[in-house]
Structure 1
């Protein structure tokens, strides 16, 4: 197949383009059993600035392949998807090569990930589900695994099996109030995830973009506050993607412990375990049959918490980056 890749920065041009990206991603998910694009790239279709680049390849009026490069962090990240019927013709290889080139500079011409001098940071690309085709493309392109994001799951019974846990007397759980709690949540999230390459840099605008999504329900975002006031010391955010589509009272096949965050100054008090139990209780009361969550494979403390809560590994997403050059002989 003849490959032609068009690219442009910023949000996609119109709703028709956005619809085609969603349809392409849905076709790939039906074929592969895993969504090829994660939440942030989908939000970037409308919300992005010029440091997000969209790469599109068309075939007879249909979107055959799509890739996105986000150059806003210290390390540029990317995701890509090829329509199933257009695979095995080199389109994925060419999309990845083009995305790598786009990652090398910001929209102002400066090297990506660099404030001044030195080589630009290498593109990191997510492979959701780490499918064999993705591993093959990575190997052909000289990319190696650099990060693993585990998908954990556990079955849920009814509310009687997952009661709302007892909370220490000096703490008060309550649900999030959009608008009034935005800035405080962002501050707590930034402290809780200061070392996290994506979660820790969320802004108020990023939060509000998520609250505009169809799945958002403020009743599923719990803040944990100390009696003396101040910013929350922790929070648990749940997500039920199909909640609006299901009849009232109908069970939901799957719900997510979307984020659990604890302020570093409050760690060591078992709040991660407490907040996870709060999230599971909320999902059980909502009729969710299975809970899922995502956690970095090297986050041993969080993994212990979730394993104690009954979670086990379902699958993994793997992030790849170009292999560093080997030693040169003399």
Structure 2
């Protein structure tokens, strides 16, 4: 069977990625009735929207691909990060790596109770009723299942196969997240229309969200290309949604010497994450020969 290669010009790849971002965000607003984003009807309808988009985009990508009889080329599923080889490590190691950073939030909140936090949550996650409640909550399903899957699939798995051949792996890591960050700016419109925030406050909030979603997008793209698995950024995304954004500002509210201990904890955690970043994402662990970074 002939394998798939991509050889688009840079402007073609960018336009296609921009199109994917537009139709993804646009699909959220195609419904005639207007409800706030956490309304059950809105959530269910947006599930349908992003599901349809996730089915439409891969055939579009395939239309811009070329076939080649070469062992160096790959199938469309491999380009999309859907592979069996290295799947188990891809589900575990990038998630553990992400935990090193996200757990800093709990350290910042209370260094002394970190052990209690871990123990309590361990028993909580083993409780069947916890998961029953989660899977009956539409907002939980959106934040931990549908959003991580659809966003990582569209903004990573479907964009990087187009960008990498055109711009190279290094540039694509930083180019791809721009579409992801800008796409999140639509939340500003929702906040203004529903009266949650005035225009200026909504702009500031959305600008901050643009910054950290872009940073996370770069990390997510890095995980995708290093592992060659879309499941790696999906699980990291879901875990980050679960933990929330690290509250670095709260550190300065503590008195000394606690404040200094927390600052040191952040620095040690960051150093630990940087030290593990490349070893835990080594392509050889995942049998990744699709992307090279």
Task: Provide TM-score, normalisation by structure 2.
Answer: 0.25
| Structure richer in strand, relative to its length | 1
Task: Provide TM-score, normalisation by structure 1.
Answer: 0.23
